[in-house]
Amino acid sequence: MKPLSKEIQAIIHGDSHDPFRVLGGHLATRAGKKRVVIRVFHPWGKAAAIVEESGAVHPMERLDEAGFFALEFPDRGQLFPYHVRVTQLSGESFDYDDPYRFLPVLTDYDQHLFREGNHFQLYEKLGAHPLDLGGVAGVHFAVWAPGARRVSLVGDFNAWDGRIHPMRSLGSSGLWELFVPGMTEGVRYKYEVKTQEGALLVKSDPFAFSSEPRPKTASVVASLDGFEWNDGEWMEGRARGGALERPLSFYEVHLGSWQRVPEEGNRFLTYREAAERLVPYAAEMGFTHLELLPLAEHPLDESWGYQGTGYFAPTSRHGSPRDFMAFVDAAHRAGLGVVMDWVPAHFPSDGHGLTGFDGTALYEHSDPRKGFHPDWNTLIFNYGRTEVAEFLIANALYWLDRFHLDGLRVDAVASMLYLDYSRKEGEWVPNAHGGRENLEAIAFLRKLNALTHERHPGTMMIAEESTAWPMVSRPTYVGGLGFTLKWNMGWMHDTLRYFSKDPVHRRYHHQDLTFSLLYAFTENFVLPLSHDEVVHGKGSLIGKMPGDIWQKFANLRLLLAYLYAHPGKKLLFMGQEFGQFAEWNALKSLDWHLLDYPTHRGVRQLVQDLNILYRAERPLWEVDTEHHGFEWISLQDIDQSVIAFMRKAADPADCLLAVFNFTPVVRRGYRLGVPRGGHWRELLNTDAQAYGGSNVGLAGGARTEEVPWHLHGQSLTLTLPPLGALFLKPA
């Protein structure tokens, strides 16, 4: 055999960054005459042949025992379609259409947009996409790996051998691509990345639309096309905007443990089963939105989805991407919005994921003082790298665009904003001005929020942000971060701390109730009673309540009423709506059997009634974010642990009085000033017998007296139920 060129040797040894220069069909000129040369490499191939569309078979010359073949057509002046027939050492033969006879799919414009950071439909180009190329059906693969020496497609189709399908490098963009004819949906694959040092890494596709079930980690070819949406009316209404002026009551759900199927090995619900069970349940309960813990593919159940590896793949635990579309579509048709938690703050160090993707710190920082998260042992995205910020923004838009999500709740925003988050002196790197603010993350968040609001009007971007960072939920054009809403973590912590105290001691913690109103209108707040507060030894909400069983239930009902009366949108984690005693366990179903007991049914009935009342009464939501929608009536009755306030609609004549007694003592003859005379009807009493209470109340309402009180000319004399709340409205 003749000595082989370095380029051919690079193919054989899996070291070529430009396989198309060697493999496939090429025009050559010899003695002034054009001819076609076709080269094929298939390891352990004993023989190969070119099969034309006419059926003509042309045996190829074997140039190397490793399986390199070539054939020259001296009488051909132009390239032509063909198949390759390979006979393996075992004697078995098979035909395939040669990937190396196809031109690039990614255009110069794609590469230009990608390099400048403005290719926000990047998921339509990178990843695996079934398509028809020149009348040939197959799958196009593309990935970003600028530091790689070679990138190959591997899978069952090539025995996971990285020498068989090396990809085409697109130069300075750092992109690699390959069209594989004949491939279809359902194929498992990964990328084999050869680093500059010669190490081989096997990586899942960062842009894959589907993955195989854990603990396996291969990506799966999937199409998002073909689903017929039926939520046009919902989408049109959403586009009109006005989320802040609407009632928002989020039912926070971990889909993997809301309900399981114990009779079938405790398996997960599928997305379509959840559409039949979860959607009608949440709608009947009166919630306006489902908020789902992250559903991007993740390897570890115990991470609840917050350490994802498949950013574009709805987790296969519950089905396919189209199944998830069906779930969202069903929710919209039932009048429910769907928000999903989204995690751009960090990613896990699993070897098949983003970490060191091409042998370099590609998505993360190389300096651990900037790139390693000490709280979660994860890696921090490099927001200052154009392509990384673009990857995350394209991902956010993807969930809104292709799955019709109504918003994203952005996790761990505080950890993104501060360079010294959870770090000691000397463990972090100041910004260019010597400060602790992460300027690159701030710029990323502003661009993210501006683009999502521009491209998907009416959707919500919600920040889980626990510090006093200003203007988190203010528009970017006035210097804010641009979020729609912000979780009020301070309210949550203060409120739960107050409720955990024995009522006899609550007088000493009264400020925990009143402090939140000093800042309640500085942001557009969501009041979260979230999953974070009922896990890791914190107990359930009812488990935090002091006293005997009766007092625990009464306190829980009081807490829920306080949530719905306080300014701010509402969020309640699953299981707390019926008073689950056990701490949340992500590995099993909620304790639905508790609904066999009237006390638990009473709590659920209260939550349903609160949602119905909340949605019906404009004072509870119409001017939620403005101070003129709230008025203290009584905030300083510390000794009796009673507070009362008015909630007002845009028309202040439309108002509602909320009164709370945080002790188990019945308060008779309790006087409160009110702005209007006449009969005030009782809208809700958490001590009602239907909710499991003692039925102390007003027998339907009360009439004012012309006794000035609390700066008003009229007043009501009420009987306050023990550990109870009353909502009243002027007739």
- Asked whether 533 and 541 are in contact (CB, 8 A), the reply is yes
Other CB atoms within 10 A of residue 456 CB? 22
Q: Are 574 and 258 in contact (CB under 8 A)?
A: yes
The token duo for 316 is 């296969």
Q: Quick check: helix, strand or coil at residue 591? A: coil
Runs of H (alpha helix) within 254-358: 255-258, 271-284, 321-333
Contact (Cβ atoms closer than 8 angstroms) between residue 457 and residue 241: yes
Tell me, yes or no, if 411 is annotated catalytic. Answer: yes
Q: Which of 291, 411, 624, 687 is catalytic?
A: 411
| Whether residue 215 has a cis bond before it, omega within 30° of 0 | yes
Which residue of the set 341, 401, 464, 465 is catalytic? Answer: 464
Long-range CB pairs of 214-218, under 8 A, 24+ apart, other chains included: 214/298, 214/299, 214/300, 214/301, 214/317, 215/299, 217/190, 217/299, 217/309, 217/350, 217/352, 218/155, 218/188, 218/189, 218/190
Residue 175 φ/ψ, nearest 5 degrees? -90, 145
- Full DSSP string of 452-496: HHHHSTT-EEEE---S--TTTTS-GGGTS---SEEE-HHHHHHHH
The secondary element (H helix, E strand) that includes residue 446 is: helix 439-455
Q: Using CA of residue 674, residue 677, residue 678, residue 683, what is the dihedral sign?
A: negative
Reduced to 3 states, what is the DSSP secondary structure of residue 415?
Answer: helix
Could you give the CA distance from residue 363 to residue 376 in angstroms, rounded to a whole number?
Answer: 17
| Single-letter amino acid code for the residue at 707 | V
Backbone angles phi, psi at 374, to 5 degrees: -70, -25
CB 285 within 8 A of CB 251: yes
| Structure token digits, residue 337 | 């919005």
CA dist., res. 337 & res. 329, Å (int): 10
Long-range pairs for 452-455 at CB < 8 Å and ≥24 separation?
A: 452/396, 452/397, 452/400, 452/408, 453/482, 453/484, 455/120, 455/397, 455/400, 455/401
Contact 128, 205 (CB under 8 A): yes
The CA distance from 326 to 333, in Å, is: 10
- Beta partners for 701? 681
User: What's CA 284's distance to the chain center, in Å?
Assistant: 25
SS3 label, residue 258: helix
Cβ-Cβ contacts under 8 Å for 87 (sequence gap 6 or more): 45, 46, 47, 48, 93
Nearest Cα to Cα of residue 374 among 317, 445, 422: 422
Which contiguous run of DSSP H or E holds residue 60?
A: none
State the amino acid at position 368 in one-letter form.
P
375 in catalytic set: no
Are 218 and 190 within 8 A, CB to CB? yes
Q: Look at strands 407-410 and 337-342 and give their pairing.
A: parallel
Q: Could you identify the residue written with the tokens 């051909």? A: 76
Identity at 390, one-letter amino acid code? E
DSSP, collapsed to helix, strand or coil, labels residue 112 as: helix
Task: State the residue for tokens 């992250």.
Answer: 294
State the Cα–Cα distance between residues 242 and 248, nearest whole angstrom.
11
d(CA 17, CA 25): 18
Query: Which are the catalytic amino acids?
Result: 411, 464
